Amino acid sequence: MHTLIHFRLCPFSRAIRLALAELGREVELIEERPWEWRPEFLVVNPAGELPVLQIEGGPALSGAYAISEYLAEGVANDDPDAEPLLPLFPGSREERAEVRRLVDWFNGKFYREVTQELLNEKVYTRLRPGGATAPDLDILRAIRTNLRYHMSYVNHLAHQRRWLAGDELSFADLAAAAHLSSVDYLGEVPWEEFEVAKVWYARLKSRRAFRSILADRVPGTVPATHYDNLDF
């Protein structure tokens, strides 16, 4: 069995966990605290970043980008007579480019402006030895402003399209949902202001692949009351 080194609230790890679940691929999960920079983990991935997919009897693949492309190529090469699997990057050349653009949006811009800062303020800093016990309120205000900007964009995409990148569910939806699920665990998503985005997220949240994500709990950090409620 393959092994996925991850952290429960890491959005990149969650995106790959969702992809693996959608593809029916079982993996052993090993948790790594990314802020510890353990020498043993740096041997596996010198960048010190999650996730890492250790292929049974094969190499270690580092990062959501490399892993998602590896999984997508595997789907393309599957037995054509087998049960169809979710194409992570579906459609024409142009449509696949749009999926990748949105994946880059969430794993780049959204992460820098929302997820990374929020996890640092509310989770990582508190778990580090000698870390602050309370988040910086000025930083939280800036994060919440950024989040509303991004939620407006998700709302727009969900209103214009069946799924974020087009007519088919794709890795763009999984990446977006991974980030929003981490933020939602902390109770920071103002769903009541973005009803179309809320409906889109509820559709994803109700999928079988989401079950392990909704079961996640981080010691010392209680999720929002609606976090695992499929009807919000």
Mean pLDDT within 174-203: 98
The confidence band for 126, taking pLDDT boundaries of 50, 70 and 90, is confident
Whether residues 98 and 210 fall in one domain: yes
Q: What CATH number does the domain containing 38 carry?
A: 3.40.30.10
The confidence band for 79, taking pLDDT boundaries of 50, 70 and 90, is very low
Look at the chain and report how many structural domains it folds into.
Answer: 2
Range of the domain at 148: 93-214
189 has a pLDDT exceeding 70: yes
* Last residue in a domain, options 45, 76, 107: 76
Q: How does strand 2-6 pair with strand 52-54?
A: antiparallel
Q: Distance of alpha carbon 60 from its chain centroid, rounded? A: 20
Whether residues 52 and 115 fall in one domain: no
Whether residues 158 and 49 fall in one domain: no
Whether residues 40 and 101 fall in one domain: no
For the full predicted model, state whether its pTM sits above 0.85: yes
Q: How far apart are CA 173 and CA 171, in angstroms?
A: 5
Q: Please tell me whether the peptide bond between 80 and the residue prior to it is cis, using omega within 30 degrees of 0.
A: no
Phi, psi of 52 (to 5 degrees): -130, 125
Q: Where are the beta strands (DSSP E) in the chain?
A: 2-6, 27-31, 52-54, 60-62
